[in-house]
Amino acid sequence: MSLLVALPGAVRAQVVVVANGSPITEYDIQQRAKLIASSTHKKATRKDIISELIDDRLKIAKAKSYGMEVTDQQVNNAFNNMAKRQGVSAERFTQFLQHAGISAETVKARIRAELTWGELIRGKYRPSLQVTEADIANAMRRQGASEAVAGYVYTLYPITFVVPTGSSEAAVAAKRREAENLRTRFDSCQQGLALARSLRDVAVREPITRTSADLPQSLQDLLGKMEIGHLTTPDVTAQGLQMFALCGKKQTKAESPLKHQIRDKLYKERFEAASNQFLEEVRKSAMIEYK
């Protein structure tokens, strides 16, 4: 007799593997295959898909044995942030997934495994993951880079041209023209911010301070070439079209973009090494049964 489990929506799927008591179904495999294809634009082998699903089950089970569990709210927040990076709302992102035949729960299951495992690795290996200034200095010397490379501290005013969800392409295009019109007229923060606040359906938010190391490379490059008192080009967000008014720019050596990149690179290398080593240990002691 085939081993079956009930799934939401009265779907029944054959169990293919049981990892430490947690079943992996044919449905799980099909969903993960679609998720991988959608995110990487590559087709993974069935063996690799099953291996990845087994790892997810083992990660969650091992973290639970240490008393570590992420909450539904943490998972939902990560899902919402994923949608935000795509420039859409969580609801719209869910629709995109459904159009690709992927359940939002499939994505959240993947998020849960990664968040849980991340907390476990950071807690278990925290001392060995720390990146010191000496580590960074040595890495910079190997690259032939100077520690004097400077970054900047920017004062930015976010300006959003509000575009209601579901607006037509024509409406979005009209808002973009308004945004570009403001951009051409914006030649100082005092005059420009006042002008922006006078416009209908335009939100001028409180100023934020960011170092160049905190910003994506594209925005670093853009702000590095801009003069104070001007606007960035409009980008699509979940709320509408967003621009930033550059109202302050000071040089700093505290954490240059290069140092930030090296710190991140070293940390990721150490995290990945610790993660792979521990996962291999977990796999060796796991109970994995193929049906």
User: In angstroms, how far is CA 6 from the centroid of its own chain?
Assistant: 32
Distance CA 210, CA 226 (A): 15
In a domain, 84, yes or no: yes
Judge if 177 and 286 occupy the same domain.
Answer: no
In a domain, 268, yes or no: no
Q: Can you give the CATH number for the domain in which 96 is found?
A: 1.10.4030.10
Domain of 103? 4-127+281-290
Give the mean model confidence (pLDDT) for residues 45-71.
Answer: 94
Judge if 65 and 163 occupy the same domain.
Answer: no
In a domain, 276, yes or no: no
Contact 27, 7 (CB under 8 A): yes
- Give the range among 47-61, 185-199, 234-248 with minimum mean pLDDT: 234-248
In a domain, 275, yes or no: no
Give the mean model confidence (pLDDT) for residues 146-175.
Answer: 84
Confidence of residue 48 (pLDDT cuts 50, 70, 90): very high
pLDDT at position 254 over 90: no
Judge if 167 and 242 occupy the same domain.
Answer: yes
Judge if 169 and 122 occupy the same domain.
Answer: no
Distance CA 71, CA 54 (A): 21
H or E stretch covering 198: none
pLDDT at position 150 over 80: no
In a domain, 194, yes or no: yes
- Give the range among 5-14, 35-44, 118-127 with minimum mean pLDDT: 5-14
Judge if 24 and 101 occupy the same domain.
Answer: yes
pLDDT, residue 1, reads 37
pTM: 0.62
Q: Can you give the CATH number for the domain in which 185 is found?
A: 3.10.50.40
Q: Which amino acid is at 19?
A: A
pLDDT at position 76 over 70: yes
Give the mean model confidence (pLDDT) for residues 201-219.
Answer: 87
pLDDT at position 167 over 90: no
How many structural domains compose the chain? 2
Distance CA 66, CA 60 (A): 10
In a domain, 266, yes or no: no
